[in-house]
Amino acid sequence: MHQSAESAVFADLVGSTFTTEEERTRFQSEVERLVAYAELLNAFDEARAQADLSKAELARRIGVKPSVISRLLNGQAKNVELDTIAKLAGALDVYVEVKVRKQPKAKQSKHPALAIAA
């Protein structure tokens, strides 16, 4: 988030809502997890657009209903199965890299508990 006099109002509200260091660390971690998930969905949708595939065609290629793809790419689907992610990647001719690493020692980590790079 850009730091400015305007964004300070939002930051101040966050600070008065998440009052302990532990709460703030958890807040950051959860935000980073949401961002990682959003970026994964964006990466898939961009790969789909690059491949000039409609959502219906992508759905056909992995054997699901078009509504499943729509729900997935617009963030409606929760707890997407790893198998679905692998099938999507295969159909789009991309791969998804999941790395398991130790969290950095500093509490103010830039790394969420779940970071997925596509």
Partner 1 sequence: MAGAKKSTKAKMPDVWQAAFYMTGDKKLPGLTYLTGLPEDVRKELLKTIAAVVATGPPRYPTGGPTWTLMHKSKAKGEVDMSGICEAKDKDGKLLYRIFCVIDRDAAEHGLGAASLILLGGATKKVKTVVPQSEYKVIDQYRHDYRATHRVGRLKKMPVWWP
Q: Contact positions toward partner 1, by CB under 8 A? A: 1-15, 17-18, 21, 24, 27-28, 30-32, 34-35, 38-39, 41-42, 49-52, 71, 73-76, 78, 93, 108
What's the min distance (Å) between Cβ of 62 and partner 1? 15
Residue type, 18: F
Give the Å distances, CA to CA, from 103 to 25, 62, 111.
13, 34, 7
Closer by beta carbon to partner 1, 21 or else 86: 21
What's the min distance (Å) between Cβ of 19 and partner 1? 10
Closer by beta carbon to partner 1, 41 or else 64: 41
SS (H, E, C) 67-115: HHHHHHHCCCCCCCCHHHHHHHHHHHCCCCEECCCCCCCCCCCCCCCCC
